[in-house]
Amino acid sequence: MMDVARLAGVSHQTVSRVLNEHKNVSEQTRLKVRAAIAELGYRPDRAARALVTGTSQVIGVVAQNSSLFGPASMLTAFEEAAQAKGFAVNVGSVRSLDERSITEAVDRHLDQRVAGLVVIAPVASAGPALEHLPADVPIVTIDGDPERSSTLVTVDQVAGARAATRRLLDAGHRTVWHISGPSDWFDAAGRVRGWEETLTEAGLEIPPLLTGDWSAASGYRNGQLLARLPDVTAVFTANDHIALGLLRALNEHGRRVPDDVSIIGFDDVPEAAYFTPPLTTVRPDFAAVATATLELLMAQVEQGPAGVEAGARRTIAPELIERDSVAPARP
């Protein structure tokens, strides 16, 4: 760092401020320091920085080892956002989000002196562990319990479900059926709530709730029932994979989509645009969730626990993506 400072004609404190992206450095000085860094091939010693500051340029993430689209996309988006700010991400994958697994993963991260922690906790079983996390460590929860007073960033599941249900009602359907995700997932509960609230406000009958497990197989299984009910003309599914299974079941029973039954999913998986027909769905903004999470975490890292008000939260609105799986209801 001293070599960079001499070449750029500045103090080593200025070099440090440039490396840490402080705002009180002029653009001209920043360019001079960056040019010196490039010329000398300088790279910050992360191990030395950890010894001096007591932390590292690493963020620890606790997440369930899952191939489900939502959690996997959330993790990828956060890794990209953190790397853009100069942080590495160390992921502690756990088989299940229970108290013991989360506590052990957090302890491993703290032993490595991470700068802060992010816990992706979309299920109720994670609650007990989150109650006992150290208060002096920067922590943000993604998709956690909305009833807890923790620092939380989440997609507005209720708003997404309301938009999907309202779209089907606006198409003239007398009611909307719903195939939910697992009952212990906060995402699934929020989507059920948005669906129920929209039907209640419209003064319409709420059909029996059908439950899936996020898989296409559960959509197919529930679709076998729905396909036999001629009054079913509109279905909102808790994710796109459930919608895929439903599409197959309806097709096998001669029920055409969207002529006979309109469908809206949730997540906007990359394949949704290539379903038959292309699926109308709700798209969560994973990048916005990642950015908000990083902002809340960095505020705690830089200013301590007081950097973020207790129970701070950011709720990110999703977007309804119109395709070809919704049509006006037949008379």
The per-residue pLDDT for 306 is 64
The per-residue pLDDT for 52 is 47
The per-residue pLDDT for 217 is 98
The per-residue pLDDT for 274 is 97
- Exposed e or buried b for every residue in 247-272, given b needs 16+ CB within 10 A? bbbbeeeebebbebbbbbbbbbbeeb
Instruction: Collect all residues with Cβ–Cβ distance below 8 Å to 183 and sequence separation of at least 6.
Output: 189, 211
Q: pTM above the 0.95 mark?
A: no
The per-residue pLDDT for 51 is 41
pLDDT per residue rounded down to tens, the chain (331 residues): 889 999 999 998 898 888 877 878 899 999 999 999 988 888 765 444 544 444 568 999 999 888 889 989 999 999 999 999 889 999 998 988 888 899 899 888 888 888 899 999 999 988 888 887 777 788 999 998 888 878 899 999 999 999 999 999 999 999 999 999 999 999 999 999 999 999 999 999 999 999 999 999 999 999 999 999 999 999 999 999 999 999 999 999 999 999 999 999 999 999 999 999 999 999 999 999 999 999 999 888 888 766 677 678 899 999 999 999 999 998 8
End-to-end CA distance of the chain: 75
The per-residue pLDDT for 50 is 47
Q: How far is CA 57 from CA 23, 34, 103, 117, 259, in A?
A: 19, 19, 22, 12, 55
Residue with tokens 């779209």: 167
Residue 29: is it exposed, middle or buried by C-beta count within 10 angstroms (0-12/13-18/19+)? middle
Residue with tokens 């991400």: 89
The per-residue pLDDT for 245 is 98
SS3 321: strand
The per-residue pLDDT for 49 is 52
Q: Report the run of H or E that residue 58 belongs to, with start and end.
A: strand 58-64
